[in-house]
Amino acid sequence: MFYRENGQFKTSYAADQQIFTIAQDKWFVWGLIAFAALAVPMLADEYMFRAILIPFLVLSLAALGVNLLVGYCGQITLGAGAFMAIGAYAAYNFMVRIDGMPLVLAMLLGGVSAAAFGILFGIPSLRVRGLYLAVATLAAQFLCDWAFLRIGWFTNHSSSGSVSVAKLEMLGWVIDSPTEKYLFCLAFVIAFAFIAKNLTRAAIGRQWMAIRDMDVAAEVIGIRPMFAKLSAFAVSSFFVGVAGALWGFVHLGSWEPAAFSVDRSFQLLFMVIIGGMGSIMGSFFGAAFIVILPIFLNQFLPLLGSLVGVTVSTAGISHAELIIFGSLIIFFLIVEPHGLARLWSIAKQKLRLWPFPH
Q: Which of residues 287-346 bind another protein (CB under 8 A)?
A: 315-316, 319-330, 333-334, 337
| Number of other residues whose CB lies within 10 A of the CB of residue 25 | 15
Q: Of residues 22, 40, 134, 190, which one binds another protein by CB under 8 A?
A: 134
Distance CA 68, CA 233 (A): 9
Smallest separation (angstroms) from another protein to the CB of 35? 24
Smallest separation (angstroms) from another protein to the CB of 358? 18
Smallest separation (angstroms) from another protein to the CB of 128? 5
**Cβ-based neighbours of 261, under 8 Å, separated by 6 or more:** 81, 141, 145
Smallest separation (angstroms) from another protein to the CB of 327? 6
CB nearer to another protein: pick between 95 and 240: 240
Distance CA 353, CA 346 (A): 11
Q: Of residues 40, 135, 170, 281, which one binds another protein by CB under 8 A?
A: 135
Q: Of residues 86, 108, 235, 242, which one binds another protein by CB under 8 A?
A: 235
Write down the H helix ranges in the chain.
13-16, 23-34, 40-43, 46-47, 54-67, 80-97, 103-122, 131-150, 178-201, 203-213, 215-220, 225-246, 262-275, 280-308, 314-335, 339-353
170 sits in which H/E element: strand 169-170
CB nearer to another protein: pick between 98 and 202: 202
CB nearer to another protein: pick between 39 and 217: 217
Q: Of residues 102, 225, 302, 305, which one binds another protein by CB under 8 A?
A: 225
Told to check if 143 binds another protein by CB under 8 A, we report yes
Burial 61-78 (b: 16+ CB within 10 A, else e): bbbbbbbbbbbbbbbbbb
Smallest separation (angstroms) from another protein to the CB of 148? 11
CB nearer to another protein: pick between 237 and 249: 237
Q: Going residue by residue from 5 to 24, which x/- string records binding to another protein, judged by CB under 8 A?
A: -------xxx-xx-------
Q: Of residues 104, 116, 139, 292, which one binds another protein by CB under 8 A?
A: 139
Distance CA 56, CA 62 (A): 10
Residue 12 φ/ψ, nearest 5 degrees = -145, 160
Distance CA 142, CA 122 (A): 15
CB nearer to another protein: pick between 193 and 291: 193
What amino acid occupies position 123? I
CB nearer to another protein: pick between 174 and 214: 214
| Number of other residues whose CB lies within 10 A of the CB of residue 9 | 8
Choose one: 104-112, 121-129, 251-259, 297-305; the region binding another protein (CB under 8 A): 121-129
- Chain positions 258 to 277 lying near another protein, rule: CB under 8 A, are 262, 266, 269-270, 273
- Chain positions 166 to 195 lying near another protein, rule: CB under 8 A, are 195
Distance CA 144, CA 142 (A): 5
| Number of other residues whose CB lies within 10 A of the CB of residue 1 | 9
Q: Of residues 101, 149, 281, 351, which one binds another protein by CB under 8 A?
A: 149
Q: Of residues 212, 229, 264, 342, which one binds another protein by CB under 8 A?
A: 212
Looking at the DSSP assignment, which residues form a beta bridge with residue 169?
174
Distance CA 252, CA 259 (A): 9
Smallest separation (angstroms) from another protein to the CB of 143? 5
